[in-house]
Amino acid sequence: MRHEVVAIDGPAAAGKTTVARLLARRLGYLYLPSGAFYRALALQALRTATPLDDEPALAALADATAIEPRVVEGECRLFVNGADVTDLLATSEVSDAASRISVFPRVRQRMVVLQRRMAELGPLVAEGRDMASVVFPEAAHKFYLDASLAERARRRARDLRRLGEGADEAALARELERRDRRDSSRAAAPLVQVEDARRIDTTALGVEEVVERLLEAMGRR
């Protein structure tokens, strides 16, 4: 059985993850960080030295890897071959590798199957780049979050510093630009704002403000 889905799309570092997690908590819904599935596979590819440009090898790796979402204390955690890898997925190396492997249709096909299974567990807030366009086109509520490139680079730098990584905002802005081009131009499920999604610019908004706007649009305030 499919439950109600709130689909949130947008480019990297636009605030989707933080907003979606808080929105799910406010609604009492499950939270699906769709990019985590790609990062989990990317982590496994890095661990096994699988080339990130070899689509057949990556598809075979996906078939051979048990990527399982589990709800732990109301939070979606990802397990790879039985081990919780959630806290290993936020590094810049894994994030970049995930962006590279996500361009391949055969990889995306396998991830979409896993993502859709989450909607069978309960009402869901799903965030990513193709939640409304591909994974959950029938979602009851669709949003597209965006922010200026400078603000997105600032946020990414802040997150990396929290992980103990060095962060050059100018370099991060260039990388985000490259990632935007890659995500928007890929043949398989490119990043787009679907026609019936509501766009929200988060550049000058706090997380709570964004969540309130989403709740208002949903008629849940």
The token pair that represents 95 in the structure block: 């994030």
Pairing state between β 141-146 and 30-33: unpaired
Question: Is residue 73's pLDDT more than 80?
Answer: no
Domain-located, residue 221: no
pLDDT at 186: 85
pLDDT at 108: 93
**pLDDT tier for residue 1 given thresholds of 50, 70 and 90:** low
Domain-located, residue 216: no
pLDDT at 92: 84
The H-assigned helical ranges of the chain are 16-27, 34-47, 55-64, 92-101, 105-117, 149-162, 169-185, 207-218
pLDDT, average across residues 30-44: 93
Question: Is residue 21's pLDDT more than 80?
Answer: yes
Q: Which residue has the higher pLDDT, 151 or 117?
A: 151
**pLDDT tier for residue 220 given thresholds of 50, 70 and 90:** confident
In which residue are the tokens 């030295």 written?
Answer: 49
**pLDDT tier for residue 74 given thresholds of 50, 70 and 90:** low
Domain-located, residue 215: no
Domains: count for the chain: 1
Domain-located, residue 22: yes
pLDDT, average across residues 144-162: 94
In which residue are the tokens 């597209």 written?
Answer: 144
Question: Is residue 123's pLDDT more than 70?
Answer: yes
Domain-located, residue 204: yes
- How distant is the alpha carbon of residue 218 from its chain centre? 21
**pLDDT tier for residue 76 given thresholds of 50, 70 and 90:** confident
For residue 28, the domain's CATH number is 3.40.50.300
> What integer best gives the mean pLDDT of the chain?
92
Domain-located, residue 55: yes
Q: How far is it, in rounded angstroms, from Cα 167 to Cα 165?
A: 6
pLDDT at 77: 85
**pLDDT tier for residue 47 given thresholds of 50, 70 and 90:** very high
Domain-located, residue 169: yes
pLDDT, average across residues 118-124: 89
Domain-located, residue 190: yes
Range of the domain at 20: 5-209
